Copies of this chain bind each other. A is one copy, B any other.
Amino acid sequence: MADAMPLGEKRRRLEDEVDTAYFEKYDSAFVHEEMLRDGVRCKAYADAIAACQAITGGGVVIEVGAGSGILSCLCAKAGARKVYAVEASAPTAKLCREVVRANKCEDVVEVLEMRLEDVELPEGVRVDAIVSEWMGYFLFYESMLDSVIFARDRWLKPGGCLLPSRAKLFLQPFSDARWRDLRAKHLSDVCGIDVSPLAARLAAEEASEPAIQGIESEHLFGEPRQILDMDLATVSLAEFSSSIQLPMAIWERPRLVHSSSNGQSMPVHGFAGWFEVTFNPPAPPAWSLAQLLGAPSLAARFAAPSTGPSEAPSEAHVVPRRVVLSTAPGQPRTCWHQTLFYLPSGALEVSSSDQLEAEVSLNRPAENRRWLSVSIRWTHVTPAGAKVSKPAVSWLLRSYAEAATRAPPLPVPRLRGTSRAACYGGAC
């Protein structure tokens, strides 16, 4: 049936609805509290702002998605001459103004209650720095990066400062064996009844969407693989309009990181993902510059699969003008936790003489561009060279509330090894 509304208009309306729902999420005071309770996050930004001469030297700053206004106030207190705090959620913009007043920053910080894309700065104004905490689960969920790029292209002075300035994505296989064993043991005897048929459904449900959850290093296999290294100064909006293919991550002789079972076959239950952002990085290394020249797509900018963060996070708060905010397992926990992609096909048995390969692609679903579809295709290579490939599987990150709260609400967290045992057994 013909529809009177032109397609462009329909798309715009859908996008408006998506944005309204997105901004309303931040109406919740609890969401802001959660972010403010994340000391790792707050301290990384505070340190980065204090170390940014483009701000401390009396610069003009725009903050994309100011929220409670804490970063804008930090900029003002650090010496910024002017800060435009852009916040589209009305109750949040009100909160932001109150916080600005409470910190006596109203002479410097101007709260602009609107979408970033609707902002009109005074004629000719260019900014020295753009500050934004735009990162979502698995980095890209929520797609707030678009607005940062928009602001950069429109207002940032050549050579201006971006906080953060660089983002990396990591992937690493994990085993859920210890938790599954505990679960299986419990389900086989709940007050004398065998409820084992539930186990397969639990596994299927686990694989049905990404889990936002902390994972301990001891459950990880092999080494973390960097699958993206993105320079915020040069990344383009066009690169996010469709699918992003990330380069293959390869684990040779994968082993559990902390395990005495080397040489044995171990079950891989999925891939854990996380990100790291860098503030005020030094000049990019030679390989990256070479890749940037003439590279039309984001995929071409990736580091070759390497092991782990290229800079040790432990140095981060020592070296001036270098701050790293890492959401890696083993690092202090953040509100992003880690993102777990459980394999729907069940465990993949890998021995330490095998090789495991994974290819990742990211998509923004048409029905909601703030969601994130993550597809992973993995291949298992035996020492004899036999390859077993699986068709790509897609997981959809789509609901903040669902994603953040998927783990059973009982007190003992999942994937926490020994501590979980206390919750099971005994009671019956």
Contact = CB atoms under 8 A, between A and B. Distances in A.
Stoichiometry, as copies per complex, reads: 2
Interface-centre pick from A36, A98, A426, A428 (highest chain B CB count, 10 A):
A36
Interface string A394-408: 000000011011101
In this complex, which of A77, A187, A332, A335 has the most chain B Cβ atoms within 10 angstroms of its Cβ? A187
Nearest to A76: B193
Interface string A28-65: 11101110111110110110000000000000000000
Interface in A408-428: 408-411, 413, 423-424, 426-428
Contact of A426 (B39, B186, B191, B197): B39
A406 to B, nearest CB: 7
Given A95-B198, A426-B39, A191 B408 contact: no
A73 interface: yes
A201 B29 contact: yes
A201 B29 CA distance: 6
A428 B98 contact: no
Q: Is the interface of A mostly helix, strand, loop or mixed?
A: helix
Given A401-B401, A402-B401, A427 B33 contact: no
A190 interface: yes
Contact of A195 (B68, B332, B410): B68
Contacts of A366: none
A321 to B, nearest CB: 18
A120 to B, nearest CB: 27
A410 B190 CA distance: 30
A190 B333 contact: no
A427 B40 contact: yes
A205 interface: yes
Given A99-B197, A191-B70, A197-B99, A413 B411 contact: yes
Given A29-B198, A38-B410, A191 B404 contact: no
A409 B413 contact: no
A368 interface: no
Interface in A359-409: 401-402, 404-406, 408-409
Contact of A410 (B99, B187, B335): B335
Contacts of A91: 201
Contacts of A204: 29
A29 B207 CA distance: 12
Q: Which 9 A-B pairs have the closest CB atoms?
A: A39-B427, A98-B197, A29-B201, A46-B191, A405-B405, A29-B202, A73-B193, A102-B194, A29-B205
29 contacts: A29-B202, A29-B205, A30-B202, A33-B198, A33-B408, A34-B409, A36-B187, A36-B190, A37-B423, A38-B410, A38-B427, A42-B190, A45-B191, A68-B195, A70-B190, A70-B195, A95-B198, A98-B197, A99-B195, A99-B198, A102-B195, A102-B196, A102-B197, A103-B193, A214-B411, A333-B411, A401-B402, A404-B409, A405-B409
Given A39-B428, A95-B198, 13 more contacts: A29-B202, A30-B202, A33-B198, A34-B410, A36-B187, A36-B190, A42-B190, A43-B191, A68-B198, A77-B192, A91-B201, A99-B198, A405-B409
